[in-house]
Amino acid sequence: MQMERLPTAITISDLATGYGNKQILSGINCQIKKGHLTALIGANGCGKSTLLKSINASLPYQQGEICLADGTLTKSLPNKVLAQKLSMLPQTPISPEGVSVRQLVGYGRAPYLNFLGQMSSKDHQLVEQALAQADVTDLADKPIASLSGGQRQRAWIAMVLAQNTDIILLDEPTTYLDVAHQFELLELLEDLVHQQGKTIVVVLHDLHHACRYADELIIVSDGGIYDQGAPKKVFTETMLRQVFGLDAQIIADPQTGTPLAIPRKHKLKQVA
């Protein structure tokens, strides 16, 4: 009997992309499952951010196709229409001068505003909801420029949440966040997926976080996809050696049962 296929939010076919004459990724074929939290992992410089930018159509790709569930090519959509379907927080967003946190979060509603740029009561409601979700309500009237790195990151996350798209792309969203806020954010993403049906693709450097919170991993290596699947299936000791050059033992996380890598210690060789 043929197994039922899970619905797909994004299909990437034979993608090749890079910057100028330098190709970063080639032969990329993968699917982002709808209603899943998918983590992109891989060594520094392997192309994780490049893949996100290609999905977001902010980086033109040289070959292949990226399609939404209805078969629409992302690069064929006007920016405003795409921004109603898909939101993205880049790795290093540029904070505008003289803007408060509430104003920044309000920018997330821009794709839905009329030609006069006026916000409706629903828009204001979603802004306040996003401020609360990202735990920045008490900072709402402060200038972005006055915030710490972690506070600023949470404000940007609130802006993405206010955009209220079905698909959310996040490039290293835990950067600058202290440990408590890292876990709060990841738990929020988990709730958005499992309670609200969002589809989230997130670049994570912390492998423990990726295994603990992601439904699926996409492992990027040497300009291609090394493997894709549930953490318990694809997060292996062989993968860690081949992709990260890491010799580690994998045990079960005592809280969640998900894979947890414990690096092995090696004594330094004695110099004669």
pTM score, two decimals? 0.92
Q: Chain-wide mean pLDDT for the chain? A: 92
Q: For 19-61, what is each residue's pLDDT tens digit? A: 988 899 999 999 999 999 999 999 998 999 999 999 999 998 8
The answer to whether position 268 is within a domain reads: no
Residue 2 lies in a domain: no
Res. 93 pLDDT band, cuts 50 70 90: confident
The full length of the chain comes to 272
**CA–CA separation, 221 and 41 (whole Å):** 9
In the chain, the number of structural domains is: 1
Give Cβ neighbours of residue 119 (< 8 Å, ≥ 6 apart): 106, 109, 113, 127
CB 155 within 8 A of CB 105: yes
Residue 65 counted as domain residue: yes
Cα–Cα distances in Å, from 15 out to 25, 28, 138, 230, 257?
Answer: 7, 5, 43, 22, 34
In a domain, 72, yes or no: yes
Query: Has residue 269 got a pLDDT over 70?
Result: no
Whether residue 203 has pLDDT greater than 70: yes
- Is 182 within the bounds of a domain? yes
* Domain with 108 in it: 8-263
pLDDT of residue 57: 92
Nearest residue to 19 (alpha-carbon basis) of 56, 60, 49, 52: 60
The whole-number pLDDT of residue 62 equals 87
222 inside domain: yes
Tokens of 104: 């920044």
The pLDDT of residue 6: 65
* 85 in any annotated domain: yes
Which residue in the block uniquely carries the two structure tokens 């920045």? Answer: 136
Asked if residue 267 has pLDDT above 80, the reply is: no
- Which CATH number do you get for residue 16? 3.40.50.300
For residue 54, is it within any domain? yes
